[in-house]
Amino acid sequence: MNSKILIVGAGAAGIAAATRLFRKGFRNLEILEATNRIGGRVHTVPFGANVVDLGGQWCHGEKNNAVFELAGPLGLLEPSVVAEGNVIIRSNGELVPQELTDRLMEVAFGIMELEEIKTYQGTLGKFVTDRFREAMAEANNQDIDEELIQQFLVFFHNYQRGYIAMDSWNELSAAGSAADEECEGDQTLSWKGKGYKSVLELLMNNHPVQTGEPIPIQDLIKFNKFVTNINWSNGPDGPPITVTCADQSQHEATHIIVTTSIGVLKENLDSMFSPPLPSSKQNAIKGIHFGTVNKIIMEFTTPFWDDIGNTFGLLWNAQELEQLRGSPLAWTEGVSVFFKVDHQPNLLVAWIIGPEGRQAELLSDDQVIDGMMFLLKKFFKNKTIERPINMIRSKWSSDKNFRGSYSSVSLATEALKTGHSEMAAPVLVESTGTPVLLFAGEATNREHFGTVHGAIESGWREADRIIKYYKDQGCCEAL
């Protein structure tokens, strides 16, 4: 089979598609990667005494999870330190009593699991707020004062903004928030200090625990190739698809698997495809939300937080929050939690989200550290806080190669009557059914969008689509 298959993007989806095709005997493969590395939003880098993940960090679940199926049986995963030791701290430095913290979190997360959420006619914000207040009015919660209830709701909103990569929980419906399917099992499985890059090695059969010949995917990749146009106007007997890159190089192929982030597709939709994509595909690109979730990872000489907990939720006093919003440090409100890093006891991470996260991307490193010091000194009043000796952070939204962190379903998605299934649909040559344009990536996965395992599944899906096409054509019987 000599038809050329070109894959745009060497992230988890692109690597998954390429390795699946290679294993099935396809050799005429080429991968165009916009950056100088593989992985996409899987980005493990040296930092501190080991490595850290600027993108995907945990394996979320075990059952029907492609990442777990690759890594779990090989003993490469373990429970993360963040799975326990969750505390919430008020902006006056007081720890909320653990019994109260546990009760508040149990009620809030219980609401997110209610079956009613799937049919509720309204926003996630209204659903959670109303149900939470109903729960707090019950007799067994009468000991929780109104101030704490309000502070917790503000915190939980901030926390959920990060979980679903949304600027506000009033920008999506309650039903939309339940659109993805969580894999059963531990949601925060860690890589034993080796980083999420391990999954890329597993896909390429290049991990130290694997046997057999590695799949030479690196030989198929051309780096620093930002795709500016895909001319897919060929007919069944016409010229091949032509892909043009920013460096003016051109690449031809019979099939294209586009794994570009939906943020990049949104930004370049009008110029990237010739002719324009079908309206259903354009609606999907426009309608699927793509949010901002960033990490600020700090290294300290001494971990001042060790005797307190592992994950720290931030509860703002209402008056102090109003003062913050009117100050130059207003962007720090986007920090929902601080958390520890597995196998790196001197590291503390801030999770910063939404518009505040995008604003922080534009600040200098010193300004960001100043903001973190402000928060740490405010919330950890009883500790001596020294300035971190090192800091690294992600900037997913300002990076032209990503323009965001991960996808979700918003009110705009529902208004356009579109979603991740429409994003996954291939573009076919009408007369022959030949799949010329195929789409993979987490934003094309209806059940597992926003996850690395969702991205890998989508890459396999599109590789299998091409494999099936050639089997149905009666060629490549050996495949």
Kindly provide the residue ranges of all beta strands, DSSP E only, lying in 268-334, ordered along the sequence.
273-274, 289-291, 293-299, 311-315
Residue 69's region, left for phi above 0, alpha for psi from -120 to 50, else beta, is alpha
Q: Are strands 255-258 and 344-353 parallel, antiparallel or unpaired?
A: unpaired
Confidence (pLDDT) at 234? 61
Characterize 87-96 residue by residue with b for buried, 16 or more Cβ atoms within 10 angstroms of its Cβ, and e for exposed. Answer: bbbbbeeebb
Confidence (pLDDT) at 180? 85
Instruction: Give CA–CA dist 437/324, Å, rounded.
Output: 48
Confidence (pLDDT) at 178? 87
Please name the residue ranges forming H helices in 188-259.
197-203
* Cα dist from 124 to 3, 127, 149, 187, whole Å: 47, 5, 18, 22
The one-digit pLDDT tens for each residue of the chain (479 residues) are 578 999 999 999 999 999 999 999 999 999 999 999 999 999 999 999 999 999 999 999 999 999 999 999 999 999 999 999 999 999 999 999 999 999 999 999 999 999 999 999 999 999 999 999 999 999 999 999 999 999 999 999 999 999 999 999 999 999 989 888 899 999 999 999 999 999 999 999 999 999 999 999 999 999 999 999 999 986 555 668 999 999 999 999 999 999 999 999 999 999 999 999 999 999 999 999 999 999 999 999 999 999 999 999 999 999 999 999 999 999 999 999 999 999 999 999 999 999 999 999 999 999 999 999 999 999 999 899 999 999 999 999 999 999 999 999 999 999 999 999 999 999 998 778 889 999 999 999 999 999 999 999 999 999 999 999 999 888 754 34
Q: Are 171 and 287 in contact (CB under 8 A)?
A: no
Tokens of 74: 């090989």
SS3 27: coil
